[in-house]
Amino acid sequence: MEMTLGLNHYLILAAIMFCIGMVGVLTRRNILIIFMSVELMLNSANMTFIAFSHYLMNPEGMVFTFFTLTVAAAEVGVGLAIVVTIFRKTESLDIRKLNLLKN
C-alpha cells in the first residue's frame, strides 16, 4: 500500500498542535511559556489554512496566513512590553503571583 501525505494528515497534525498549545496555556505558570503555547495554537491555524489552500487550489488561505503572522508579531510587541513592566515590578514571571485582583 502506498503511503502519501494527504489533507487529513495535515489537518490532524494541526489539530494535535492546537490541543498541545491549549493544554500548555491552561497548565503552565510561566507567562512566556503560556505565550509560546498561544503561538503554537496560532501556527496550527496557519497550517490548517495552508493545507486547505493547497488542497482547494485557492490562494486566499495562504494570504490569510500572512495576515495572521503579521498580527501575531504586533501582538508580541505589545505583549512583551506588558511582560517587561510586570517583571520590573514583581521580578517574577509566575502567573500565580499576580493576585492583586481577586475574583
Partner 1 sequence: MFDVASMQISRILPEMILIGVALVAILMDVILPKGKSTRGVQGSIVVGLIVVMAASFFTRENTGTAFGGMVIVDGFTFFFRMLLTFVTLLIVMVSERYIEGLRIRIAEYYLLLVFSLFGMLLMVMAQDLLIIFLGIETMSISLYALVGMSRHRQISNEGAIKYFLLGAFTTAFFVYGIALMFGVAGSTNLVEIANYLRGVSGSVPMLAWAAAGLIMVGFAFKAALVPFHWWSPDAYEGAPTTITAFMSTAPKAAAFAAFLRVFYVAFGDMSGSWTMILWWIAVVTMTFGNLLALRQNSVKRMLAFSSITHAGYLVVALLTFDQMGAAAMLFYLAMYAMMNIGAFLVAIAVNKDENEGKGYSFDDYKGLIWRKPWLALAMLVFMLALAGIPPTAGFFGKYYIFSAAVKSGFVGLAVIGVLNGAASVYYYLRLIVYMFLKERDELNESPSLNLSPSMIQVIALCVFLVLLVGLFPDLLLNFATQSVTVLL
Output the smallest distance, CB 59 to partner 1, in A: 11
Query: Does residue 20 contact residue 40 with C-beta atoms inside 8 Å?
Result: yes
Q: What are phi and psi of 85, to 5 degrees?
A: -65, -35
In terms of CB distance, is 1 or 22 closer to partner 1?
22
Q: Show Cβ contacts of residue 90 under 8 Å, excluding neighbours closer than 6 positions.
A: 97, 98
| Cα Dmax for the chain | 60
Binding mask 6-45 for partner 1 (x = CB under 8 A): -----x------x--x---x-----x--xx--x--xx-xx
**Among residues 90, 44, 40, which one has the least CA distance to residue 65?**
44
Question: How many residues appear in the chain?
Answer: 103
Of residues 2, 5, 89, 96, which one binds partner 1 by CB under 8 A? Answer: 89
Binding site for partner 1 (CB under 8 A): 11, 18, 21, 25, 31, 34-35, 38, 41-42, 44-46, 48-49, 51-53, 55-56, 58, 60-61, 63-64, 67-68, 71, 74-75, 78-79, 81-83, 85-86, 89-90, 95, 98, 100-101, 103
